[in-house]
Amino acid sequence: MKTVHKYEINLHDLDRESMAMVKIRKGATLLSVGTQRFGYVAIWAQVDTETPMMDWQIWIYGTGHTIAAPDTAKFLGTVFMDGLVFHVFYEATDGVFYKPGDFRIDG
């Protein structure tokens, strides 16, 4: 059955690369990003409740901060929170996890 679910990310739970791993249904369509309470970013997604859960990588960066997400990550939107501005990127992993250095070409 298709429905819309909300997934919240506590900004304090981001790792040092500004990334959080979130369990979202496989094949979901991420619809929008916003806030409902301070310190949390909320993502709304259309999901099929009959599909399995999988890991999605979510990166959240403040304006002016270095973006370490891979080039394959997609931009979801911008969130305004008490004078701060955050930009949200995502990628479904299908079991493949990307770290920032994976896509850097040196030399």
Give per-residue pLDDT as tens, 64-83. Answer: 999 999 999 999 999 999 89
Residue 47's Cβ-count burial label (10 Å; 0-12, 13-18, 19+) is buried
Q: Whole-structure pTM over 0.95, yes or no?
A: no
Residue pair 60/20 in contact by the 8 Å Cβ criterion = yes
Mean pLDDT of the 48-69 span:
94
Distance set, CA 65 to CA 5, 25, 28, 59, 72 (Å):
29, 30, 28, 12, 18
* pLDDT for residue 17: 86
